[in-house]
A and B are shown apart, each in its own frame.
Chain A
Amino acid sequence: MEQTRTTPASTTAAPGSSNVQLFSYDEQIVRLFVLATVIWGFVGMLVGVLIALQLPFWPANLGEYLTFGRLRPLHTNAVIFAFAGNAIFAAIYYSTQRLCKARMYSDLMSRIHFWGWQAIIVAAAITLPLGLTTSKEYAELEWPIDVAIAVVWIVFAVNFFATLQRRRERHMYVALWFYIATIITVAVLHVGNSLALPVSFMKSYPIYAGVQDALVQWWYGHNAVAFFLTTPFLGLMYYFLPKAAERPVFSYRLSIVHFWSLVFIYIWAGPHHLNYTAVPEWAVTLGMLFSVMLWMPSWGGMINGLFTLRGAWHKLRDSVVLKMFVIGITFYGMSTFEGPMLSVKSVNALSHFTDWTIGHVHSGALGWNGFMTFGMIYWLLPRLWRTKLWSERLANAHFWTGTLGILLYVLAMYASGITQGLMWRAFDEAGRLMYPDFMETVVQIVPMYWVRLIGGLLYLSGVVMLMVNVYMTIRQAPKSLPDPTFAAPAPAAAAQPAAA
């Protein structure tokens, strides 16, 4: 594991040696991303709660611009790209500088990335309720916004790789591998899936049609999960978990094996979203096979995470950060066990189109993405604002309400998903559909929708507790927060063979 200097500048100014350079980290950019994470997280989940209410209670569809059909994509875009997105950028900007012992290559590029990304989110929040959408899941934004995403992403990539190039640490730590995979793959997926011919400023038709469009969309859609909600969070885990536990990562070899197999296998799994559709049989079967194989590298990550805590489990008692991480990693393990199972055709025949998928999604999203993000923020808050966390007790309350919220949400969705799946396929003795009226199968699961709403409200109130803690912690922070300076040998000393 890398050694990060945390000693204040005055004591690290290396004496005499001409080979040693002084440098500082850009911490303001991390603070900005952390704040954006918290604010958009609240907004995105508030919309989540609203659509969760709209399902059992249709009058909550509040007129033309705020119907379920328009708000659901707003929810998914806000939580994935705004909440999880800003969270991984905070993680990347904080840890990359330290792992490279170098400031980000360009402060200006970092700012362009930050404000550009927020502008894109605002554009999404305006256009989606207006009904300006491509309809493709997680790629709903219309072409001008897609272009903006590509530009901002390239700025981010240049800034990141240029920082790698200027690093003062010879070897790239495993977190950086995952960041590299994220940046490259998201760029490829975004461009590949968004290719379209514009009709007007806010309308376009994709260059793919029918079966082809479906395949490309789920090549993208599944790997958005893989390279936006999984690999960057694994990078986050690899950096922040050992920091918080003050233990090195469990196994270096395991991290190599599971990194490369994960990166290679994930791409193939997309067609498991298209089981039993008009997509050719061979593609779907390949998708299923690779999905099942994906279980192993996924659990490789989980094991490396949980075993990093060996001998440190007692620390969980007074560290809300570690508690959050443990729940997060556990849900990662659960959803990556469930995912391969859902890919198996006979299971998918039941689960597809039902709330079972929604349960799977949110065990990953609320458990893994949410709790890893919260854990990171609670760890970062005192360090970024150089003061104590305002309230440990409130953070603990967040942990427990959040956990209870996830459980209610996920269990309700399993119950409703399986119930509805079974009712759809039930035949009576005479060989006729037992529930020919679709509404019968809806009425049955409405109570579960209410339970999910309660779970969502609990989870959201946890986020409110986080907001209070962030606000109060910042209030007690010192007025000026200058970037800390450090010293390290110049890059030339840490000779870099091919990359130089």
Chain B
Amino acid sequence: MARFIKPNGLHRRLEGWPLVFTVLVTISILVGGLVEYLPMVLIDDSVQRIESVRPFTPLELAGRDIYIREGCNNCHSQTVRPFRHELERYGEYTKAGETVYERPFLWGSKRTGPDLYRVGGKYPHLWHVRHMEDPRSTSPRSIMPPYPWLLEKPLKLDDLPRKLRVLQRLGTPYSEVEIAQAVDDARRQAREIAAEVEAQGGPAGLADREIVALVAYLQRLGTDIRTAETAPAPSAPAPSGPAPSAPAPSGPALAAGE
């Protein structure tokens, strides 16, 4: 070591060889990447699948892209940590297997607003419509921006087949039929949501507005494992991987962080 770093040592020589120096730097920065990240990226089984977790429907996907466009992730996280206070506030903590269709992941880094991972089913559709139009109408002192244009802008669905196709290429299991019928399917789901909003006493004619897609997405969030829990047959999340239980990400669910 001393030989290496002394004023006229080996390192001094290295400083005269930019090429060698650059190669060594490259190796140094690649080691961590290769050991720590690459296994996760290459080994598909490193994330245990959960059978009840399904890809987003076309309309939910459109809503998700609106969520991304509006940058909701800058204020809302989408990942519940395994602490008692978070389980009480938000619900079950997020499992790796639930995230496999999240392209991109939207876990966020800041909770200016509450976590949304389990918001699906928490409120009626109409609540979300009112809240997005004017957050102060449902949460009096809210600091969330209003998004009234979501109730006005026409919902664009024509690019859905292409979106599903790209996701299919990347590994999301959309069938050919689903891709071919993506637009019709989205329209049907949009009509259902709009009808329910109207039935709850909300504004009519939202079926072709962006807001229905966003509501569809929000109502889907975090519900896949709930469906599994209420379903009669196999008990709770049935992982297809080798291990019998869903991966507990970071230690025991209830103990940490108190």
Contact = CB atoms under 8 A, between A and B. Distances in A.
B102 A496 contact: no
A217 B40 CA distance: 13
Contacts of A55: 112, 143
A234 interface: no
A271 interface: yes
Contacts of B111: 353-354
Given A55-B112, A210-B101, A181 B33 contact: no
B180 interface: no
A345 B252 CA distance: 14
A438 B18 CA distance: 55
A275 to B, nearest CB: 7
Interface in A402-445: 424-427, 432-433, 436, 438-439, 442-443
B71 A267 contact: no
B118 interface: no
Given A69-B75, A284-B250, A134 B257 contact: no
A68 B112 CA distance: 11
B40 A215 contact: yes
A346 B83 CA distance: 11
A275 B172 CA distance: 27
Given A61-B145, A205-B167, A424 B85 contact: yes
Interface in B133-178: 135, 139-147, 149, 159, 162-163, 166-167, 169-172
Contacts of B94: 277-278
A294 to B, nearest CB: 11
B257 A439 contact: no
A286 B36 contact: yes
B249 A279 contact: yes
Given A205-B166, A219-B33, A353-B109, A172 B70 contact: no
A425 B17 contact: no
A442 B249 contact: no
A165 interface: yes
A205 B172 CA distance: 11
A357 B109 contact: yes
Contacts of B88: 432-433, 436
Given A281-B249, A439-B141, A276 B31 contact: no
Contacts of B230: none
B98 to A, nearest CB: 7
B131 to A, nearest CB: 12
Interface string A478-499: 0000000000000000001111
Interface stretch (A104-112, A251-259, A311-319, A392-400): A251-259
Nearest to A56: B143
B249 A256 contact: no
Contacts of B258: 425
A426 B119 CA distance: 21
A64 B16 CA distance: 55
Contact of A276 (B15, B70, B171, B250): B250
Contact of B249 (A278, A426, A446): A278
A208 interface: yes
Contacts of A219: 33, 36-37
A255 B95 CA distance: 43
Contacts of A450: none
A257 B141 contact: no
Contacts of A198: 166
Contact of A209 (B37, B105, B250, B257): B105
Contacts of A287: 36
Nearest to A262: B28
Contacts of B83: 276, 349, 425
B52 interface: no
27 contacts: A58-B142, A135-B71, A165-B18, A180-B18, A180-B25, A198-B166, A205-B163, A205-B167, A206-B104, A209-B102, A210-B47, A210-B105, A213-B105, A214-B107, A215-B37, A263-B28, A267-B31, A268-B32, A270-B37, A276-B82, A276-B257, A278-B99, A279-B40, A427-B85, A436-B89, A446-B143, A498-B16
Interface of B: 4-7, 11-13, 15-22, 25-26, 28-33, 36-37, 40-41, 46-47, 65, 68-75, 77, 79, 81-86, 88-89, 94-96, 98-114, 135, 139-147, 149, 159, 162-163, 166-167, 169-172, 247, 249-251, 256-258
Given A136-B104, A209-B100, A498-B17, 20 more contacts: A56-B143, A135-B71, A135-B104, A137-B109, A172-B15, A172-B16, A173-B15, A197-B166, A215-B40, A263-B25, A266-B32, A270-B37, A276-B81, A283-B36, A350-B257, A353-B110, A442-B141, A442-B143, A443-B141, A498-B16
9 closest pairs, A vs B, by CB?
A: A69-B71, A210-B99, A267-B32, A131-B69, A349-B257, A61-B145, A278-B96, A353-B111, A276-B81
